[in-house]
C-alpha cells in the first residue's frame, strides 16, 4: 500500500500538471519578490500553481502496440480450419470451382513472406480477407447446405446452388480487387524508385 502511494506521488511529481503548476508558482514567487503580491503572496502563489495545473494538458497513455503480423498468424490458422471445413462439404461443381479459386487467392495472400507483409501494411485489405475467411465463406456454404435440405422437403423457388455460386463469385471478385490494390501499391513503389533514380541521374 505504501509503495503504491509512493509511486503515485512520484508519478504526480513528474506529471505535466505538477510541472506546469510549479512553473506558474515560480512566477508567483517572482511577483512576490518584485513587491507586486504584497501580504497575499501565499494566495497568489497557490492560485497560480492551481491555474497552471488546471491548464496543463492531461497525461496521454500510449495505445498498446499491435503487430499486424501476429493478426495474420491467427488469420492463417483460421484459414487452415476453413480449408478443412471446405474439404469436408459436398458442393455442386460450379460453386466448388469458384470456391477453389477463392481459397487459392486467400492462401496466396496469407502465405508467409513478402506478400503477407504487403497485406499486413493495409488494414482494410486485412479486414476484407479476415471477414471472408471467418464469416462470409463459412456462412455461404452453411446457408447452402441448410437451404438445400429445405428445398428437398419443399421443392420450388430459386435454386440454392445458384445463390451459393453467386455469393462465392462476389467474394472472389472482392478478393481479386484486394489483390489488384496490393499490386498497385507495389507498382507505385517501383515507379517512385524509378523517378528517384532518374532525378538523381539528372542532378
Instruction: Answer whether residue 9 shows pLDDT above 60.
Output: no
| Domain definitions of the chain by residue range | 2-55, 68-202
Task: Give 36's pLDDT tier (boundaries 50, 70, 90).
Answer: low
pTM (global) more than 0.75 = no
Instruction: Answer whether residue 152 shows pLDDT above 90.
Output: no
Cα–Cα distance for residue pair 122/152, rounded to 1 Å: 44
Q: Which range scores top for mean pLDDT: 120-124, 134-138, 158-162?
A: 134-138
pLDDT at 10: 60
Mean pLDDT of 98-103: 96
Task: Give 55's pLDDT tier (boundaries 50, 70, 90).
Answer: low
Instruction: Answer whether residue 2 shows pLDDT above 60.
Output: no
pLDDT at 103: 97
Instruction: Answer whether residue 38 shows pLDDT above 70.
Output: no
Cα–Cα distance for residue pair 46/28, rounded to 1 Å: 8
Cα–Cα distance for residue pair 5/35, rounded to 1 Å: 38
pLDDT at 182: 93
Amino acid at each position: 500500500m505504501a509503495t503504491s502511494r509512493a509511486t503515485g506521488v512520484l508519478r504526480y511529481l513528474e506529471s505535466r500538471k505538477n510541472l506546469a503548476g510549479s512553473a506558474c508558482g515560480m512566477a508567483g514567487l517572482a511577483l512576490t519578490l518584485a513587491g507586486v503580491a504584497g501580504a497575499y503572496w501565499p494566495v497568489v502563489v497557490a492560485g497560480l500553481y492551481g491555474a497552471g495545473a488546471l491548464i496543463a494538458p492531461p497525461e496521454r497513455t500510449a495505445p498498446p502496440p499491435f503487430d499486424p503480423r501476429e493478426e495474420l498468424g491467427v488469420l492463417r490458422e483460421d484459414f487452415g480450419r476453413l480449408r478443412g471445413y471446405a474439404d469436408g462439404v459436398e458442393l455442386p461443381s460450379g460453386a466448388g470451382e469458384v470456391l477453389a479459386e477463392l481459397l487459392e487467392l486467400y492462401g496466396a495472400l496469407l502465405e508467409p513472406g513478402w506478400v503477407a507483409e504487403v497485406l499486413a501494411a493495409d488494414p482494410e485489405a486485412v479486414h476484407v480477407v479476415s471477414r471472408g475467411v471467418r464469416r462470409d465463406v463459412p456462412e455461404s456454404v452453411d446457408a447452402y447446405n441448410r437451404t438445400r435440405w429445405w428445398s428437398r422437403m419443399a421443392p420450388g423457388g430459386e435454386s440454392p446452388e445458384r445463390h451459393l455460386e453467386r455469393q462465392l463469385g462476389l467474394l472472389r471478385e472482392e478478393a481479386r480487387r484486394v489483390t489488384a490494390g496490393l499490386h498497385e501499391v507495389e507498382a507505385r513503389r517501383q515507379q517512385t524508385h524509378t523517378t528517384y533514380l532518374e532525378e538523381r541521374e539528372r542532378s
